[in-house]
Amino acid sequence: MRAHYRSLKPLVLWRESARPLDWASLFGRDAPVELEIGFGSGDYLVGRAAQRPERNFVGVELEWEGVQRALRKVAAAQLANVRVLLGDVRPILHRAVAPESLARVYTLFPCPWPKKQHHKHRLLTPAHLQLINSRLRDGGEFYLLTDHEAYFQWVLGNLTDTGFQAVARTVPPQVNTKYEQKWRAQGQTHFYALTLTKIAHCALPLQEDVALETYRVEQFDPTRFQPADCPDEPRVLFKETRYDPVRQIAMTRVVVVEDDLTQHFWIETVREGDGWRIRPAPGCGVVPTVGVQRALDAIRDALAQ
């Protein structure tokens, strides 16, 4: 099978790394760090990193396909100042990025989620802007570029108590990304730019991992095992359980949703001496949270019945 990337070296497995991420260690040098939210194919991220070799660049993207394309471009350009993270930027900022560690954050053409019932999915709520502020250094900058005027106005309405000084303006096409090319082809001649400069600090500490408690139980009957979902926050959904009678191990697939973090992972119930051990399966890269503990508790409770 042919890999769709040339090298995985720029990829940072943030769930499995020590947090907060140590930029100087990851890049092998201490330099100002810029972070792009949703880099798509990575064209702008790679182009800006090539133009500013004195800075370090971090790209965060939800889709693996985009990460692969960006990794190819980073390798082709032979750039050592780019690192790539796969995931939702909100839990990454909450859990993996230290306060006051970024020089600049930017996002180009984020999804405006135009339907009112979808507004809950929008980036750049007041709480998210405060989070970005907390991760920027004093005088740091956040930059938004969008084609969507209604979304732009919505963001402008979210700036109260976010610690930013704002400059809003319309600009001509200038970044030549896929989406800018798309809107230009449809006749759009100007876009909406917002530059926010940090003038006051919003104190938001890192969200801490919890110390997970695993369990040892005396009995396990795979024919009767059925853990119950937890519908309240944090939500825990049990999808399936597979049991290997030879190895005496059951694997339960779980989805945990809490705040902005959704985790898909497996919990194993494995024979251990004269009992059974319940724990997250090794290799899942799970972030230890209250929701993960709740999933472990639910499996313990199911086996106690």
Closest-CA residue to 220 (of 247, 255, 249): 249
The pTM of the full predicted model, rounded to 2 decimals, is 0.87
pLDDT in the model for residue 67:
95
Do 222 and 185 fall within a single domain?
A: no
Question: Which of 142, 173, 198 is the last residue in one of the domains?
Answer: 198
Instruction: Give the CATH number for residue 112.
Output: 3.40.50.150
What confidence tens digit (pLDDT) does each residue in 26-43 have?
999 999 999 999 999 899
Do 180 and 220 fall within a single domain?
A: no
Q: How many domains does the chain have?
A: 2
Contacts of 33 (CB under 8 A, 6+ apart): 23, 55, 56, 57, 58, 101, 102, 103
Do 162 and 278 fall within a single domain?
A: no
Do 155 and 287 fall within a single domain?
A: no
What confidence tens digit (pLDDT) does each residue in 223-246 have?
999 999 999 999 999 999 999 999
What is each CA distance from 181 to 111, 145, 174, 187, 200, in whole angstroms? 16, 14, 10, 10, 36
What percent of the chain has a predicted confidence (pLDDT) above 90? 83
Residue 224 to residue 277: CA distance in whole angstroms: 17
Do 233 and 180 fall within a single domain?
A: no
Spans of the chain, pLDDT less than 70? 1-5, 173, 175-176, 178-181, 183-184, 186-187
**Any domain includes 13:** no
Do 165 and 292 fall within a single domain?
A: no
Range of the domain at 114: 23-198
Looking at residue 260, its amino acid is: D
Do 140 and 248 fall within a single domain?
A: no
